[in-house]
A and B are shown apart, each in its own frame.
Chain A
Amino acid sequence: MRMTHDEINVKHARTGFRDETGEWYQLDNAAIIMPAISNVRNTSLFRMAVTLDHPVRLDDLNTALERVAKRFPYYMVELRRGFFWYYFQPLKEPIKAVSDLGWPCMGYNMHKRGAPLLRVRVAGARIAFEFSHILADGAGGGCFLTATLIEYFKERGIVATPPSPTCDVSAPPDPEEYEDAYHRFYKPRIPIPGPLPRAYHLSSKLLPVGQCRAITGIVVADDLVALAKARKVSVTEFLTAVYLDSLIELRTVQVQAGARRLSPYVSLEVPVNLRRFYKTKSLRNFSLFVLPTIDTRLGTWTLDELAAYVHHYMGIENDERRIATQISRNAGGGRKLVVRLIPLFIKNFFAKILYVALGEGLISGILSNLGTIQMPEELAPHLERFDFLGAPSSTLKTFAALCTWKGKTHIAFGSQAQSRELERLFFKRLVALGLRVEVSSNM
């Protein structure tokens, strides 16, 4: 008897295996391309940092990490090469907190033998968690961060209730937590999305290799919400419009200065957490994106028009049926036997080309909104600040990520571009709209 689609999906979604050498894991569908495109500039690390109300006690943090490591064995892994695919091998040594004095998300080589795929960095009162996107997305990273903070504060005599079993170290790891949810929710016979045009990219010389600038603007969340509500859009939609507006101005300046062959399309990637649509406990990657795109040949756009456009675009695209077409393309492609049987070195060669042509080639920037951080209320008084920084990209050069905590929204631009013009135009627009913006930078 033929397997049902559900049975086939469950088979493909399984990533954890056990053999005579112990546990090992397959990469999820979003992660399989990343080892090929990761290098000293594109490290694939995203960063979630929390600032405490006291200098971090390193011994307590390492004790907490030891306990959390047992709860998240599928994160305590290193990357290994197979003949057809990469796989995760459990680490021999437990991870320890390291200094956070270097550049954020940089100085990392995932291909190094024994290299963990997440880093916990400490400086003063700040604990920064840097996750490779090969391992997890923001939801998984947030869960690990919450569990670590709960255990850290337990060491300090403050007991907090875990918000969910996935953040509770006393609960055993559920196999669903490391399943490949893309394959789990794959629907056969769904068409794939149509081709997209190549997008405009920022033009700027890059910073020296290994450097990453982070410019953070802090705004009062209520003020930001008020600005968005005045336009009947969400905060993400409003900031997407501001970002697009800034990119369009940058492009216009370049055209006026005589630049030719610039793509007329300005396009922004806005990640979508698929857990909104599909019920899963997976803490691997499970997000896709929508891509609001402006064709600059059509004329000029005011900020309000852009906000309205983004709002309606998101209303159409941010829909389970539309997202399913992306899953169909990504997961469906990975299931083809002819793709699976191509040796890894050939896959890597084509992955680099395809990623530039069909991935980052189609977007001008990224705006990732983690939303309001949810923490156990016992910990809240001791957590002063959260910062979220996206994974660096030398193609996009500059990219934005934001999160909200205690009524303040932190909008962080990570960048490898020498030019700070995009950040300047973006925050200048917010100031012009009457928002108070407190800006800081690491360089």
Chain B
Amino acid sequence: MVRCDQCGVELAEGTERCPLCGAVLGDKDAAGRAGAPGPVPVPADGAGENRQRRQVAAEVLSVSLAIAALTLVVLDLIMGAGIAWSLYPLVALGFIWWLICPTLMATRKPALGIAVSALAPFGFLVALDAINGSLAWSLTLGAPIAAAVELGVLGTILAAKASKIRGLNVLAYAFVAAAAICLVVEGAIDLYRDGILNLFWSSITASTLIPVAGFLFYAHLRLARNTTLKKLFHY
């Protein structure tokens, strides 16, 4: 062992400089001129309970919507001679109830509940149209668009469910569905307005979305096979 005279610490044999002060060992005056640093520079719960909870939620929603509807009707009656403008918000409230409550209440047959809820947009559009006295646009324009959107969502969910590994491929399915929806929307508008099919903006949108979907499929199969949506989007 050798000893640093500056710091007093012991160092292994053969050490030339003290690692603390930089002093050359065996040279008492060397510390200052040996490049020594010196002073520092300034420097879950059960299925039964779940069912009960959903039932309560459906009841609360139903009562709340009923109160809102009643209030609207009373206000309309007070302000005018009969029920007029309140029909529109009443239809909207009915739509909300139809959309949510069947899914909440059909706890034993969830597919049936979802199917009934899926009809809500059609009912909503037809009711809005009917308020004006005739079914002018709801069946020829509204229904195909609503059907396209619902089928697009359903298709994406089914394709995702059928996939062994769910990752970027689910996004790709969603992009393909979005492209199809755009085509149907423009087609329905064209046929309703002009009676002729003339796809323009939707074909541009689709031609953009489809290659992106293709790339996502590629990325899923080749690059990110180990990535699932649960991993990517866990929160």
Contacts and interface: CB of A to CB of B under 8 A. Distances in A.
Interface of A: 1-3, 7, 11, 17, 19-22, 24, 26, 80, 82-85, 87, 89, 202-205, 215, 217, 250, 253-254, 257-259, 340-341, 418-424, 427-428, 431-432, 436-441, 443
A80 to B, nearest CB: 7
Contacts of B228: 19-21
Closest A-B pairs by Cβ, 9 of them: A203-B43, A441-B19, A431-B8, A439-B9, A84-B235, A340-B235, A424-B20, A438-B10, A421-B40
Contact of B39 (A19, A205, A253): A253
Contacts of B225: 21
23 contacts: A3-B45, A17-B234, A82-B233, A89-B231, A203-B41, A203-B42, A215-B20, A250-B40, A257-B39, A257-B42, A340-B235, A418-B37, A420-B19, A420-B20, A420-B22, A427-B9, A436-B10, A438-B1, A438-B12, A439-B4, A440-B15, A440-B19, A441-B19
Given A20-B166, A21-B226, A83-B233, A439 B7 contact: yes
B40 A253 contact: yes
B40 A204 contact: yes
Contact of A24 (B21, B44, B231): B231
Given A20-B165, A84-B235, A85-B235, A428 B8 contact: yes
Given A20-B165, A215-B19, A437 B234 contact: no
B24 to A, nearest CB: 15
B234 A84 contact: yes
Contacts of A253: 39-40
Contact of A423 (B20, B38, B41, B232): B20
Nearest to B230: A19
Contacts of A437: 8-10
Contacts of B233: 82-84
A11 B43 CA distance: 48
Contacts of B8: 428, 431-432, 437
A90 B12 CA distance: 43
B164 interface: yes
Nearest to B226: A21
B49 interface: yes
Contacts of A215: 19-20
A424 B166 contact: no
B18 interface: yes
A418 B11 CA distance: 21
B227 interface: yes
Contact of A439 (B11, B44, B49, B164): B11
A396 to B, nearest CB: 14
B37 A421 contact: yes
A159 B228 CA distance: 43
Nearest to A7: B44
Contact of B231 (A11, A19, A340, A440): A19
Interface residues of B, number: 38
B49 A1 contact: yes
Among A202, A432, A441, chain B packs the most CB atoms within 10 A around the CB of A441
A432 B7 CA distance: 9
B232 A83 contact: yes
Contact of B20 (A17, A84, A427): A427
B53 to A, nearest CB: 9
Given A1-B49, A428-B20, A436-B10, 9 more contacts: A2-B45, A3-B44, A17-B230, A20-B164, A22-B226, A24-B231, A217-B9, A258-B42, A427-B9
A440 B12 contact: yes
Nearest to A201: B43
Among B12, B230, B231, B235, chain A packs the most CB atoms within 10 A around the CB of B231
B164 to A, nearest CB: 6
B22 to A, nearest CB: 8
A419 B37 contact: yes
Contacts of A1: 45-46, 49
A323 B51 CA distance: 40
A439 B3 CA distance: 10
A87 B19 contact: no
Contacts of A428: 7-8, 20
A229 B124 CA distance: 82
B40 A82 contact: no
A439 B165 contact: no
A24 B10 CA distance: 49
Interface string B29-66: 00000000111111111100100000000000000000
A96 to B, nearest CB: 22
Nearest to A92: B226
A20 to B, nearest CB: 5
B55 to A, nearest CB: 14
Contact of A204 (B20, B43, B49, B230): B43
Contacts of A422: 40
B2 to A, nearest CB: 10
A203 B49 contact: no
A26 B234 contact: yes
B234 A82 contact: yes
A199 to B, nearest CB: 16
Contacts of B38: 421
A270 to B, nearest CB: 23
Interface in B184-235: 225-228, 230-235
Contacts of A423: 20
Nearest to A438: B10
B36 to A, nearest CB: 9
Nearest to A421: B40
A436 B37 CA distance: 23
Nearest to B15: A440
Given A26-B234, A83-B232, A84-B235, A419 B41 contact: yes
Contacts of B12: 438, 440
A427 B46 CA distance: 62
B180 to A, nearest CB: 25
A28 to B, nearest CB: 14
Contacts of B4: 439
